[in-house]
Structure formats: C-alpha cells, structure tokens
Amino acid sequence: MLLSKLYTNANSSAKKDPIKKALLEQVEKKKKAMVLSPEKQKEAYYSSIKFANKRVPLQNHSVETKFERYLATFSYRKQQSYAMHSKAEKHLPKIASILKSYGIPEDFKYIPLIESDMNPQITSHRGAGGYWQFMPSTARLYGLKVHGKFDERKDLIKSTHAAARYLKSLYSEFNDWTLVAAAYNVGGGSLKAAIRRQGTDDYYKLRLNQETGSYIYKLVSVKQVIENPNKHGYKRYAKLDDKYQSINEQNLL
C-alpha cells in the first residue's frame, strides 16, 4: 500500500517536473530492455529445458556447449526441411498416448525420430530395425514377432507397446529416466559397467561412446525444435504460443 502511494506520488510529481518525468521514462525503458534482452531470454529459456521432467544442467559449460552443437544440427537453418515436423505431427500423438498408458514420460516419444527418422524400413548394420530400432532378440523378448518377411518392429503401435515395456523394465534397473534413455541406446549391461567403473551415475559426467554420450542431447534438441518451431526457424509450424517464446522475443539460436 505504502509503495503504491509512493509510486503514485512520484508519477504525479513527475507530471509537474519534466526532468523527473524523463528520468522515470528512462528507468521504465531500462526495465523493459532487461526483460527482453537476449541474455535474459536465453537464461529463461535454458532454465526451462528438461528431459523427462528433470532439468538439463545447462549451467555447466561443457553441457551447454554440447547441447548447442546438437540444437544447431536440428535447426531449420541446418535441415532446410519440414519433414521432421510433418512426421512428428502425424505419429507423436499416438506414441505419446501409448507411453502414457505405461507411465513412461512423454519425452521418450522422440526416440523413434532419433533412431529411425520414423522410417520403419531402416535396418542398421547390426540388424536393429523398425521404428524403435529393436534388435530381433530384444523385439521377441518384449512380445514382437520377427521371422522371415513378418516383422512387427515395422508396426508403429505394436512396436511402441514393446518399447514401453522395455523402457519400464530399464527403469526398474536404473530408477532414473535419463539413464533409461542412455541404456536404451547402449544396453543396460554396458551402462551398468560404465557406472561401476567410473563411480558415477550422472549421465552428464559419464564418459560414454560417442553415440550414447550424445543421445540425450539429441533427444532434448529434437524436443526443442518440435515444441518451439518459431524459435528454431520452422516458420510454417510457428505459433504465437510457442512454449517458451513470447511474440516479442527474438530467435536466439
């Protein structure tokens, strides 16, 4: 109440005093500039970035540098294509719904975009295939039929149910969703061995092979460009209600 009166009095006296009025206007401009400055925008945006409801430690310089490298890779400037957003729009709602029914965090819906680019025909040199790039043995273990020309890894719905069961089993081992994602890529046994050797279960401190060491960064980067298309150059999909971007905010990255 007292502050309100003081501010009101300052404004009323400023109307009579042009110098005081000019000073007050400068103060307001500086406040507005600070709120919308690139540094403040970046700080607010980075503090919002999470994977599976856990904040990504972007205050760590090495984590920030690595994240920005992969984020740039998935930006429109680099991709020059709307294909990823088109696939996401078509498939991700179905995937998210299935994952939710198993209690899996929604962010895991981005795995097929990273693993197969939503192309069920892709097969790795090691034999992993389908949307979720299951190895045949793992696919069978989690309920998929894989024999001859009949391959349920190429069925989006069935393979997503299998992936959800697999992710849930990994969570029972690691009790941490970030580690679950890493284990999905490298295998639970390999990740446990790395944790045991290095004496840390912090993904961002573990020294892992290049593919696994970049896996979370790729997932988080894809999440950002899908959820915030305007910020990352995908104007066709841009909305004024981009999750972390106001209509006055500049594109930062």
Task: Report whether pLDDT(93) > 90.
Answer: yes
pLDDT, tens digit, for every residue of 74-88? 999 999 899 999 999
Regarding whether 215 and 167 lie in a shared domain, the answer is: yes
The residues near 114 (Cβ < 8 Å, ≥ 6 apart) are: 215, 218, 219, 222
pLDDT (0 to 100) of residue 5: 47
CA gap 218, 66 in Å, rounded? 10
* Domain-embedded: residue 246: no
CATH number at residue 85: 1.10.530.10
CA gap 33, 13 in Å, rounded? 25
Regarding whether 44 and 28 lie in a shared domain, the answer is: no
* Domain-embedded: residue 244: no
pLDDT (0 to 100) of residue 157: 98
* Mean of per-residue pLDDT scores for the chain: 87
Regarding whether 44 and 55 lie in a shared domain, the answer is: yes
CA gap 230, 239 in Å, rounded? 7
According to DSSP, the β-strands at 50-51 and 54-55 are antiparallel
* Domain-embedded: residue 252: no
pLDDT bracket for residue 12 (50, 70, 90): low
Angle at which helices 188-198 and 156-174 pack, to 10 degrees? Answer: 30
pLDDT, tens digit, for every residue of 169-224? 999 999 999 999 999 999 999 999 999 999 999 999 999 999 999 999 999 999 99
The helix or strand, by DSSP H or E, that contains position 10, with its residue range, turns out to be: helix 2-16
pLDDT (0 to 100) of residue 248: 41
**Domains identified in the chain, total number:** 2
DSSP 15-71: HH-HHHHHHHHHHHHHHHHHHHSHHHHHHHHHHH-EETTEE--TTSHHHHHHHHHHH
Write out the residue range of the structural domain in which residue 102 sits.
37-237
CA gap 213, 147 in Å, rounded? 32
Regarding whether 195 and 116 lie in a shared domain, the answer is: yes
pLDDT (0 to 100) of residue 239: 65
Regarding whether 187 and 145 lie in a shared domain, the answer is: yes
